[in-house]
Structure 1
Amino acid sequence: MDVVFHTEQEVFNYRVAGIWIKDNRILIHRASDDTIWSLPGGRVEMNEASSVSLQREFKEELDISMTIERLVWVVENFFDYRGKKVHEIGFYYIVSNEMEQPIPVGPFHGVEGERLIYEWIPIDELEDVILYPEFLKKALMNIPDKTEHYVVSN
């Protein structure tokens, strides 16, 4: 069971995301019916460590086994989405894998079908993308050596 709670007007969500950078590009994704991009990941399940959750999400969505390098950001994110106030706790990890093949050019879908669209975007072009949480656009240019905590509200 995912750690997400809904009321009529609010949502609480516990999310993990992967910072996967190759060749100065970062992998981002969005729902097929949306314009907002985010870092790939998903909801943590009850009684599941956040790092294990992130590995599970990459395996389910892209059929890729990831190595979790380290936790970079813990984010308390407050925003409105589809008519509801959202309170999201997010753990953002640097991830890697031993993928030898070149990264795909342009949008592509994962193994789950057309629900999500993925794309490798040059890091220096993130300003041109609707990426949430918005602090990521600048923060990804200079990833800190130690874990940082952010409180973000739109």
Structure 2
Amino acid sequence: MPKRKMIRMDGPQKQRFNFRIAGLGFRNGHVLVHRAVHEDFWTFPGGRAEIGETSVETLKREMIEELGVEVSVGRMLWTVENFFRYEERDYHEIGFYYEMDIPAHFPFHPSGIVHRLRDGKNDLEFKWVKATKAALTALDIPPYFIAEQIETLPPTPVHIIWDDGNLDR
């Protein structure tokens, strides 16, 4: 099996470029989110793309690895040039956000953790949260523009440049 190579590049002065693919899976008016248990914030499930794989392949692979299920990847919602600070690094991330269908046998509960796993050095937990601006805002789920648009998803893909304003540049 060939060695996997995630698309990530470190720059000078604690800068990092990342190519991340994420999915928004909906069920019963809720959307699936996850976090590393040591973090205060949540995000949409996904991960870094690997060299030689399409973004759809990345999302499918990540969901098999993280959820243990094969998802159907739907339409692209957003392409995001995301600038943020995390763990004392300035990130420049290109993110593709897709709708995805999660199989019905994946657990659903309107509150509480529905799935956990160890991913490398991180313990991840997944839960369903109401797909509303109020719920996502209360949860602290970057990039924050998604909370503004969650109740009315764009009909065609939208390109967003998002800067959380916490960069040293």
Q: 2:70 aligns with which of 42, 45, 65?
A: 65
Retained in 2: the 8 A contact 1:107–1:118? yes
Match of 2:112 in 1: 106
Match of 2:100 in 1: 95
Matched, 1:131 2:141: yes
| Whole-Å separation in 2 of the counterparts to 1:9 and 1:75 | 21
Q: CA deviation at 1:98?
A: 3.3
Q: CA deviation at 1:102?
A: 5.4
Retained in 1: the 8 A contact 2:137–2:144? no
Matched, 1:120 2:128: yes
Retained in 2: the 8 A contact 1:16–1:50? yes
SS at match of 1:20: strand
Q: CA deviation at 1:107?
A: 1.6
* Distance verdict in 2 for CA 1:101–1:132, change over 3 Å: closer
SS at match of 2:161: strand
TM-score (norm 2): 0.85
Retained in 2: the 8 A contact 1:60–1:112? no
| Whole-Å separation in 1 of the counterparts to 2:149 and 2:53 | 27
| Whole-Å separation in 2 of the counterparts to 1:81 and 1:97 | 29
Q: CA deviation at 1:111?
A: 4.3
Retained in 2: the 8 A contact 1:74–1:91? yes
| Whole-Å separation in 1 of the counterparts to 2:123 and 2:34 | 10
Retained in 1: the 8 A contact 2:117–2:123? no
**CA deviations over 1:71-119 (Å, ceiling 9, x no partner):** 1100000011111110000000000033146513402433447711111
Matched, 1:28 2:40: no
Aligned residues: percent identity? 31
Number of residue pairs aligned between Structure 1 and Structure 2 = 154
| Whole-Å separation in 1 of the counterparts to 2:52 and 2:114 | 32
Q: 1:83 aligns with which of 63, 82, 88?
A: 88
Structure 2 spans left out of the alignment, 5+ residues: 165-169
Match of 2:7 in 1: 3
Structure 1 spans left out of the alignment, 5+ residues: none
* Distance verdict in 2 for CA 1:148–1:133, change over 3 Å: same
TM-score (norm 1): 0.93
Match of 1:15 in 2: 20
Aligned residues: CA RMSD: 1.6
